[in-house]
């Protein structure tokens, strides 16, 4: 019953939409009925034309995010545990976090070309900020007890970061991943809309140019599902990998 | 704010390193113009009024969308928090809109509302509204029930209760949601102006980038970043003055 109540408003809106679109007051090519959009969504999967752009967007988002994790986590942890790194990097990343990195698209196209590399690099750049800052805050807020007990056993600096600071900061790092995964899909789609080169963003813009609103809608639904699925995947990974973690208990 | 001068040193070091790399020839002009060239073209664009004109265009768009989002978002959030039926009706729809990357809606809005300003304003309003609704709802829900009860005991009407008790008490959380919305407004604005426009800072960046005028393009990027930073600072400073009466400020 609660589920039914939750879904009811959505069902009402969609029904109203269908009725308005079918009433013949608006041009169905501009405002198509929901049922036709749903059919088109199935059709783009059935005829397979959604798969190449779908994979392009997913792999760009994941590659950029993975690179941001690989660079951002060590840097953030270092900032959290080393005074000079904190002094130098913290203002830069705090200052840059809210700024619109999207504005760098033309520069990145100039540096890395119009194909995948410029897009992956921009996704990397944009995701780097949350990854660095969340890792930094994770490493900074650690209870010194853990560090002292490791130090008293003669643990070296590198080993300390890798075996003590990293595992203890994981909860915060995963918070960063959940922020970054949303950013990754957003930036992937915007770069594809602006500079083409395949992907769901380009499919969206191309459908718009051809006046194909049904496909544009089907693409938008797919984009949202990709974002949602990646976010849920990150959430699931967090729960699965972190069940032992002190911050989770 | 006091730590600000110290915090700016790393940024100055990066700019100095950029300039040194350009001057020594280690960083070719074709890859990245020198910082002094970028600064020179920024000054030229500020003098000629080019920047001012495009800032006005961007500001009008982002401002209109943002203000609409504040008006609708705060009202909706408050009503949702006080009336269960509204919450049950609206929340599932908001949850459905939440995961959509908002700039991806721009092409659809261009079909419905035309390629002019209206479609851009609408998408900015939609994107900014969500964090404001969420923040207002959470803020209004966590209002101390004592405040509500004591107002009700004096026979305050539901409407008056919303505007005179719940809204002021929820302000700190609303203010945080609005701050997020400012950052979102700039991102969506630039995306929209990249996709289609004939004026605005996003358009200016894109057209200089397309023309290969990297120094002018970077000048606008830096100007936009500084503008976003200043907006955020002014917002925080204004907030601190306006809310000095509020419990959270002490």
**What pLDDT band is residue B163 in, cutting at 50, 70 and 90?**
confident
The pLDDT of residue A162: 85
Taking 60 as the threshold, does the pLDDT of residue B156 lie above it? Answer: yes
Q: Are B225 and A99 inside 8 Å of each other by CB?
A: yes
The CATH number linked to B78 is 1.10.3720.10
Q: Does A228 touch chain B (CB under 8 A)?
A: yes
Burial label, A226 (beta-carbon count in 10 A; 0-12, 13-18, 19+): buried
Task: Tell me the C-alpha distance between A130 and A151, whole Å.
Answer: 29
Tokens of B140: 């209004």
Query: Using an 8 Å Cβ cutoff, are B243 and B171 in contact?
Result: yes
SS (H, E, C) chain B: CCCHHHHCHHHHHHHHHHHHHHHCCCCCCCCCCCHHHHHHHHHHHHHHCHHHHHHHHHHHHHHHHHHHHHHHHHHHHHHHHHCHHHHHHHHHHHHHHCCCCHHHHHHHHHHHHCCCHHHHHHHHHHHHHHHHHHHHHHHHHCCCHHHHHHHHHCCCCHHHHHHHHHHHHHHHHHHHHHHHHHHHHHHHHHHHHHHCCCCCHHHHHHHHHHCCCHHHHHHHHHHHHHHHHHHHHHHHHHHHHHCCCCHHHC
Task: Tell me the C-alpha distance between B184 and B197, whole Å.
Answer: 19
Taking contacts as CB-CB distances below 8 angstroms, the residues of chain A near B202 are: 103
Taking contacts as CB-CB distances below 8 angstroms, the residues of chain A near B205 are: 103, 106
The pLDDT of residue B249: 47
Domain membership of residue B7 (yes or no) is: no
Q: Does A17 touch chain B (CB under 8 A)?
A: no
The pLDDT of residue B114: 87
Q: What value, to the nearest 5°, has the Cα angle with vertex B216 and ends B52 and A193?
A: 90
The pLDDT of residue A123: 98
The pLDDT of residue A248: 53
The pLDDT of residue B145: 87
Domain span holding position B195: 36-249
The pLDDT of residue B1: 47
Q: Which residue has the higher pLDDT, A150 or A245?
A: A150
Q: Does A111 touch chain B (CB under 8 A)?
A: yes
Phi-psi region of A115 (alpha: psi -120 to 50; beta: other; left: phi over 0): beta
The pLDDT of residue A66: 97
Mean pLDDT within A234-248? 78
Taking contacts as CB-CB distances below 8 angstroms, the residues of chain A near B89 are: 9
Taking 80 as the threshold, does the pLDDT of residue B245 lie above it? Answer: no
Q: Does A115 touch chain B (CB under 8 A)?
A: no
**Residue % of chain A over a pLDDT of 70:** 98
Domain membership of residue B25 (yes or no) is: no
Instruction: Encode pLDDT of B202-217 as tens digits.
Output: 999 999 998 889 999 9
Taking contacts as CB-CB distances below 8 angstroms, the residues of chain A near B186 are: 100
The interface residues of chain A toward chain B in range 66-95, judged by CB-CB distance below 8 A, are: 87-92, 94-95
Q: Does A51 touch chain B (CB under 8 A)?
A: no
Q: List, in order, residues 6 or more apart from B73 with CB less than 8 Å away.
A: B128, B129, B130, B131, B132, B133, B136, B177, B181
Taking contacts as CB-CB distances below 8 angstroms, the residues of chain A near B195 are: 193-194, 205
Integer angstrom CA distances of residue B8 from A134, A159, B22, B35: 21, 32, 21, 17
The pLDDT of residue B248: 55
Domain membership of residue B77 (yes or no) is: yes
Q: How far is the first Cα of chain B from the last one, in angstroms, to the nearest whole number?
A: 17
Mean pLDDT within A141-151? 84
ipTM of the complex: 0.89
The pLDDT of residue A247: 58
Q: Are B183 and A98 inside 8 Å of each other by CB?
A: yes
Domain membership of residue B161 (yes or no) is: yes
Q: What value, to the nearest 5°, has the Cα angle with vertex A90 and ends A84 and A95?
A: 145
The residue of chain A nearest to residue B93, with distances taken between CA atoms, is: A10
Instruction: Encode pLDDT of A54-105 as tens digits.
Output: 999 999 999 999 999 999 999 999 999 889 999 999 999 988 888 899 999 9
Q: Domain total for chain B?
A: 1
Instruction: Encode pLDDT of A152-211 as tens digits.
Output: 888 888 888 888 889 889 989 999 999 999 999 999 999 999 988 899 999 999 999 999
Domain membership of residue B16 (yes or no) is: no
Domain membership of residue B5 (yes or no) is: no
Domain membership of residue B58 (yes or no) is: yes
Q: Does A54 touch chain B (CB under 8 A)?
A: no
Q: Does A210 touch chain B (CB under 8 A)?
A: no
Compute the CA torsion angle A95, A97, A100, A106 (nearest 10 deg): 90
Pick from A74-78, A114-118, A142-146, B4-8: least confident: B4-8
Over chain B, what is the mean pLDDT?
91
Mean pLDDT within B81-87? 91
The residue of chain B nearest to residue A222, with distances taken between CA atoms, is: B100
Over chain A, what is the mean pLDDT?
91
Query: Using an 8 Å Cβ cutoff, are B73 and B94 in contact?
Result: no
Instruction: Encode pLDDT of B9-36 as tens digits.
Output: 999 999 999 999 999 989 998 889 999 9
Task: Tell me the C-alpha distance between B229 and B221, whole Å.
Answer: 12
Most A-contacting residue of B11, B13, B54, B107 (CB-CB within 10 A), to test interface: B107
Domain membership of residue B1 (yes or no) is: no
Taking contacts as CB-CB distances below 8 angstroms, the residues of chain B near A182 are: 101
Which DSSP letter does residue A244 get?
A: T
Query: Using an 8 Å Cβ cutoff, are B166 and B143 in contact?
Result: yes
The pLDDT of residue B242: 82
Whether pTM exceeds 0.95: no
Q: Are A105 and B194 inside 8 Å of each other by CB?
A: yes
What is the number of other CB atoms lying within 10 angstroms of the CB of residue B108? 20
Burial label, B27 (beta-carbon count in 10 A; 0-12, 13-18, 19+): middle
Taking 90 as the threshold, does the pLDDT of residue A126 lie above it? Answer: yes
Q: List, in order, residues 6 or more apart from B54 with CB less than 8 Å away.
A: B199, B200, B201, B203, B204, B220
Query: Using an 8 Å Cβ cutoff, are B22 and B32 in contact?
Result: yes
- Superfamily of domain covering A35-241: MetI-like (1.10.3720.10)
């Amino acid at each position: 019953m609660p589920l039914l109540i939750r879904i009811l408003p959505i069902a009402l809106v969609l029904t109203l939409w269908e009725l308005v679109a079918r009433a013949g007051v608006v041009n169905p090519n501009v405002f198509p009925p929901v049922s036709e959009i749903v059919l088109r969504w199935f059709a783009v999967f059935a005829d397979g034309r959604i798969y190449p752009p779908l994979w392009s967007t997913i792999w760009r988002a994941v590659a950029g995010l993975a690179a941001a994790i690989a660079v951002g986590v060590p840097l953030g942890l270092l900032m959290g545990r080393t005074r000079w790194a904190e002094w130098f990097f913290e203002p830069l990343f705090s200052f840059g976090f809210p700024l619109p990195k999207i504005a760098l698209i033309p520069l990145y196209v100039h540096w890395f070309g119009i194909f995948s590399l410029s897009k992956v690099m921009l996704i990397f750049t944009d995701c780097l900020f949350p990854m660095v800052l969340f890792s930094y805050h994770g490493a900074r807020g650690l209870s010194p007890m853990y560090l002292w007990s490791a130090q008293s056993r003669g643990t070296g600096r590198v080993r300390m970061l890798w075996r003590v600071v990293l595992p203890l900061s994981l909860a915060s790092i995963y918070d960063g991943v959940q922020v970054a995964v949303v950013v990754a899909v957003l930036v992937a789609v915007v770069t594809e809309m602006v500079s083409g080169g395949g992907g769901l963003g380009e499919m969206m813009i191309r459908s718009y140019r051809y006046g194909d609103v049904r496909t544009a809608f089907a693409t938008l639904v797919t984009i949202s599902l990709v974002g949602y699925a990646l976010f849920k995947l990150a959430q699931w990974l967090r729960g699965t990998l972190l069940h032992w973690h002190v911050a989770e208990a | 704010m006091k730590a600000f001068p110290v915090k700016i040193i790393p940024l100055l070091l990066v700019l100095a390193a950029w300039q040194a790399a350009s001057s020594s020839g280690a960083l070719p002009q074709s890859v990245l113009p020198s910082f002094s060239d970028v600064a020179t073209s920024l000054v030229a664009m500020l003098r000629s009024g080019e920047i001012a004109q495009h800032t006005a265009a961007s500001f009008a768009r982002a401002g209109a969308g943002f203000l609409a989002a504040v008006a609708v978002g705060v009202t909706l959030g408050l009503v949702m928090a006080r009336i269960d039926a509204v919450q049950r009706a609206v929340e599932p729809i908001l949850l459905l809109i939440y995961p959509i990357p908002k700039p991806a809606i721009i092409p659809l809005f261009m079909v419905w509302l035309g390629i002019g300003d209206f479609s851009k304003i609408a998408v900015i309003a939609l994107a900014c509204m969500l964090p404001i609704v969420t923040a207002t709802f959470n803020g209004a829900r966590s209002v101390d029930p004592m405040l509500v009860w004591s107002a009700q005991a004096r026979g305050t009407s539901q409407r008056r209760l919303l505007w005179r008790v719940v809204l002021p008490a929820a302000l700190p959380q609303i203010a945080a949601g609005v701050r997020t919305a400012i950052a979102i407004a700039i991102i969506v604005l630039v995306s929209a102006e990249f996709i289609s426009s004939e004026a605005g800072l996003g358009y200016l960046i894109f057209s200089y980038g397309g023309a290969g005028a990297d120094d002018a393009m970077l000048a606008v990027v830096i100007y936009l970043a500084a503008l976003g930073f200043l907006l955020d600072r002014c917002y925080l400073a204004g907030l601190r003055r306006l809310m000095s009466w509020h419990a959270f400020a002490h």
